[in-house]
Amino acid sequence: INKFIGPKEWWYHHKLNPEYAQWGGEVAANKLIKYIKPQDVIIYVDTENYKKVVIENKLRKNLDGDVTFFEKFWKVHKNNELKDTVNPILIYADLINTGNQRTVETARIIYEKYIDRHIRKN
């Protein structure tokens, strides 16, 4: 959607409402396995709540910013337990997509810990 910037490590202290926004990429990986110190932030958000997340987290528009918003493309089912991070498969895809060795190594760990066991079942 757009790029933004926030205070240093702002994501560490701020919460997202998982009903309409969830962490992806490096921040989600950090929350999941504590292996990587995030340099870039990805937030998946419903388009109708996008501005609310920007305001709540005091983010400023900046074309060179380290915060990227993507439209949330899935529906939340009322019976599902909501988490502030997206599914590990999407975290893995975000990390692999960077092509950066630092994030690719983290993606490998997430794959082995959260994804591989489901694939091997079938």
The secondary structure of 30-63, three-state, reads: HHHHCCCCCCCEEEEECHHHHHHHHHHCCCEECC
Q: Is residue 46 very low, low, confident or very high in pLDDT (cuts 50, 70, 90)? A: very high
Domain ranges within the chain, ordered by starting residue: 3-87
pTM for the complete prediction? 0.89
pLDDT at 122: 55
Span 24-36, average pLDDT? 94
Given a cut of 70, whether residue 121 has pLDDT beyond it is: no
- Per-residue pLDDT reduced to its tens digit, 81-108: 678 999 999 999 999 999 899 899 999 9
CA gap 76, 44 in Å, rounded? 13
Given a cut of 90, whether residue 77 has pLDDT beyond it is: no
More confident residue, 78 or 25: 25
More confident residue, 76 or 16: 16
Give the contacts of 50 (CB within 8 A, at least 6 positions apart): 1, 69
CA–CA distances in Å: residue 67 to residues 10, 38, 91, 111, 118: 11, 11, 15, 24, 31
Lookup: tokens for 76: 């939340």
DSSP 108: H
Q: Which of 65, 74, 75, 64 is nearest to 54 (CA)?
A: 65
Average pLDDT over all residues of the chain: 90
CA gap 36, 105 in Å, rounded? 9
